[in-house]
Amino acid sequence: MKKKTLVDIDAQGLRALVRVDFNVPLDDGKVSDDQRIRAALPTLERLLDQGASLILMSHLGRPKGKPNEALRMDPVAAHLAQLLHRPVRKLDDCVGPDVEAAAKSLKAGEILLLENLRFHPQEKANEPAFAAALASLGEVFVNDAFGTAHRAHASTAGVPERLKPAVAGLLMEKEITYLGRTLADPEKPFVAILGGAKVGDKIGVIDNLLPKVEALLIGGGMANTFLAAQGHDMADSLVEEDALDNAKTLLDQAGSRLHLPVDAVVADSFAAEARSQVVPVDQIPQGWRMLDVGPATLKNFSQHLESSKTVVWNGPMGVFEFPAFAAGTFGLAETLGRLTRNGVTTIIGGGDSAAAVHQAGLANAMSHISTGGGASLEFMEGKSLPGVAALEDGD
């Protein structure tokens, strides 16, 4: 998936309209986790070094198409100014005469941050006039928001139809390079690890990955449904009854390539303080539920990973938010960190997996951690992402 990037343009003296993903958590009016902002800094600094001025646009939270005082971009502007060590002027809207005037008066090195795009319902609707109004603000478009690339919104799909050149930022380039190259031509052996709660969310991913992998390791809540499809009594564990037939079909298709937990950490309730014990998956007591993979499963999964050259992981192995049920997820992260040091390419597919790796203190130990949970999942399904497809093709 070759797309034009920052190296294909000269932004000197131009107004760069940049779609960033500054959808960050706020606590008491301040940014409480700035990972997404920091991820965009290389692109912003490259453009500033080239002599561009910046007009930044992002959504924040779910304001449902109307202004929400708690979701204004002011705290983000203040935090970004600290990180860049230069002023960031935040505007009170993202379209309109005042915004157009502010954009046109920008000088090289100056930065504007538009108000929350989703204060306007036209953003999610990709309304043509709204997209055109945004596009009119810049002279070059850069999309660095991979986390929103699976949405055909005005700022991701509508703007690049109207503003050229339209190129990928450094973060977007890294995402589509890692994920695209891995899925198109992975270095073998290729192992995929899938977890999380629901099989239904991952059926497309499994279908797309099965022909490409040497091993598919399944944990988390979705493993319950596969185990139930094999005939195991899962007691009070989460099982998707309507996905049992799909699970049986996938088990038949995968054969010996699909590996499931052999033991489980079970609990007598869904709570951090619940009683827990380790049991084989065919001996879960009535009234108990599986909340993590057990130590034998972690050992088995690690053995399958030892010979790998490429690993993709999407979805935790258990309810890692509860310390008693985090050992499977954190243990897997430790294994992948060690393999990365030994030259294995390890890609974490965003969302809860990324959160777990960060919580385990192993974010810097992986080859790549995707910034987009939903986008990376759709990419792994083999779907076209509107925000990527809209950018200009490279050579």
Q: Which residues are catalytic?
A: 36, 198, 351, 374
For the chain, percent helix, then strand, then coil, each to nearest 5?
Answer: 45, 15, 40
Those residues with Cβ within 8 angstroms of residue 365's Cβ, 6 or more apart along the chain or in another chain: 333, 336, 337, 340, 341
For 301, residues 6+ apart whose C-beta sits below 8 A from its C-beta are 193, 217, 219, 259, 293, 332, 335
Distance from the first to the final alpha carbon of the chain: 10
How many Å is the maximal CA-CA distance in the chain?
70
**Scanning the structure block, which residue is given the tokens 């999964």?**
301
The region, left, alpha or beta by phi > 0 then psi within -120 to 50, assigned to residue 174 is alpha
Query: Tokens 């192992």 label which residue?
Result: 191
Question: Is 94:57 a contact under the CB 8 Å cutoff?
Answer: yes
Alpha-carbon 119 to chain mean position: 23
CA pair distance 184, 181, nearest whole angstrom: 5
Q: Are 282 and 315 in contact (CB under 8 A)?
A: no
